[in-house]
């Protein structure tokens, strides 16, 4: 009498596949194995998700650009230093836009928005400083 090594069910002599789980019966055990519940079925095969569910990989340098762009935008928004905050706002916009094209996602969009707001406030502050 033989038993399937995957599910432990009785198999008839001469069978090639287990009738319960479908596993190949090339190696037969003479006694049913006492296995945990998790090992009673063959492990599932990993399948790649369909193309529409796959997330494109993001570039680490794009995330770094987005973070620096956000930081420069915050600097331009909250540091009232004439001319320097205007430059920080422009560089923040450039870095965030570049990171957004490379697929950095929400961080790049946030950096772009904050940099634009920082540039606007920096221009207003610089104009008030000059007048």
Q: Is 29 helix (H, G, I), strand (E, B) or coil?
A: strand
Q: What is the pLDDT of residue 90?
A: 94
* Cα 86 to Cα 11, 53, 68, 113, 117, distances in angstroms: 79, 41, 15, 15, 11
Q: What is the pLDDT of residue 26?
A: 63
Contact 85, 39 (CB under 8 A): no
Residue 1 neighbours by CB under 8 Å, 6+ apart: 10, 13, 30
- Alpha-carbon span 106 to 104, nearest angstrom: 7
Instruction: List per-residue pLDDT tens for the chain, 131 residues long.
Output: 577 777 778 877 777 788 888 777 765 444 444 555 555 666 667 777 777 676 666 678 889 999 999 999 999 999 888 889 999 999 999 999 999 998 888 999 999 999 999 999 989 988 888 87
Q: What is the pLDDT of residue 126?
A: 87
Q: What is the pLDDT of residue 92?
A: 94
């Amino acid at each position: 009498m033989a038993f399937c090594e995957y599910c432990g069910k009785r198999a008839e002599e001469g069978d090639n596949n287990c009738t319960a789980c479908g596993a190949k019966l090339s190696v037969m055990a003479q006694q049913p194995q006492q296995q945990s519940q998790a090992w009673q079925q063959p492990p599932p095969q990993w399948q790649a998700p369909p193309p529409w569910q796959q997330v494109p990989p993001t570039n680490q340098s794009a995330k770094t650009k987005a973070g620096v762009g956000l930081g420069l935008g915050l600097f331009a928004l909250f540091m009232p230093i004439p001319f320097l905050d205007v430059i920080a706002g422009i560089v923040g916009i450039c870095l965030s836009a570049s990171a957004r094209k490379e697929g950095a996602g929400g961080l790049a969009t946030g950096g772009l928005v904050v940099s634009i707001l920082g540039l606007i406030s920096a221009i207003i502050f610089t104009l008030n400083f000059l007048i």
